[in-house]
Amino acid sequence: MDKHIKKQLAFTLIELLVVIAIIGILSALIVVGMSSTTQKATIAKAQVFSNSLRNALMSNMVSEWKFDQVDVPTSGKTPDSWGTNNGTLVDALGACDVSHCPQWVASCVYGGCFNFDDTGDYIDLASIISLSGEFTVGIWAYRDTNNTYDFIVGNSGNDCKIGFHSSNKKMFVRIIAGGTSDSSSSGEILINTWNYIVITRNSSNKVDYYLNGGNALRLFSDVAQVGNFEFNRLGNDSGNYYDGKIDEIRAFTAVIPTSQIQQNYFAGLSKIFAKQIIRTAEYQKRITGLTSNYAKK
């Protein structure tokens, strides 16, 4: 059987499993007045299923930064839990201490994360990550303010970047394609709360953007095949530093199915609700939006 057809069938089966699992989870979820036991069981079920699908897609994963710790044996390092692109904490204003460099925060979406203060701190990766052809980049981001530009990933050598633009509070993406191609998304990024952001490029060079489990929004209709997406910094691009927290960045050399993206969002959302990072009203509103997306399919 043709490899491309096999791949399509594999993703179709994964999507089917995800939809079945989410329907079961959401049908049992009563947000208002949910007991502590039910809440914990629901969250645990979502996390187990998310991990099983993550394992199924491992062959396409390039790097994963969980930010759960700063390596104690090697001060100032944060590991790439899947690849070899370990990060080094950097601050343009001085040596790393309690006032400089990204600061580790204990309770975020999944375990710990890093807080960036927009004054020169970022994470420098071991080498440039170049994603050609199909790819997916998934990020959990918490934005503190509306700066002119806040970049989550970028490249010190060119203009590839993913971040926020303050003039319209939208997502901003730039990809090198025989020059530069950039686009701002529709849909306002929420401030002072966690957002799940996913960028994908398919085999037809179409680039889509997903915000908080919503339906795909087209950013580019045709990015030239020569246009790789490259980055070697987290929280910085050419001096445009990030202001806020970043957690769980994953890069894949494949287009992750929409149902997988929505499942990842649900699992993370349930985590921050259990930690009381978001209130019941916000959780209920987001869950309603997620189930509405499934109803439209």
CATH, residue 83: 2.60.120.200
Answer yes or no: do 191 and 290 share one domain.
no
7 and 130 share a domain? no
Count of domains in the chain? 2
Cα atoms in the 13 Å half-sphere on the side-chain side of 141: 28
> Does residue 102 share a domain with residue 24?
no
Contact indicator for 67, 114 with CB cutoff of 8 Å: yes
**273 and 245 within one domain:** no
Q: For residues 223 and 184, state if they share a domain.
A: yes
Q: Are residues 153 and 266 in the same domain?
A: no
Q: What is the pLDDT of residue 32?
A: 40
Rounded Cα gap, residues 215 and 223, in angstroms: 20
Same domain, 93 and 112: yes
The per-residue pLDDT for 220 is 77
pTM, to two decimals:
0.79
Q: What does the pLDDT read at residue 56?
A: 55
Kindly give the confidence (pLDDT) of every residue in the chain, 297 residues in length, as a single tens digit, with 9 standing for 90 and above.
Answer: 554 544 444 445 455 444 445 544 444 444 444 444 555 554 555 555 455 555 556 678 999 999 987 764 456 888 898 888 999 998 887 777 777 889 889 889 998 999 998 888 899 998 889 998 899 999 999 988 766 677 889 887 767 888 876 666 677 787 776 555 556 666 667 788 899 999 998 988 888 889 888 888 887 777 765 578 889 999 988 778 888 999 999 999 999 989 889 989 999 999 999 999 999 999 998 888 776 665 555
Cα dist from 279 to 108, 140, 227, 246, 275, whole Å: 15, 18, 42, 20, 10
The pLDDT assigned to 184 comes to 61
Residues 174 and 296 in one domain: no
Whether residue 248 is found in the same domain as residue 162 = yes
pLDDT at 20: 45
- Structural domain boundaries enclosing 276: 1-57+257-297
Tell whether 248 and 283 lie within a shared domain.
no
How high is the pLDDT of residue 167? Answer: 60
d(CA 9, CA 20): 17
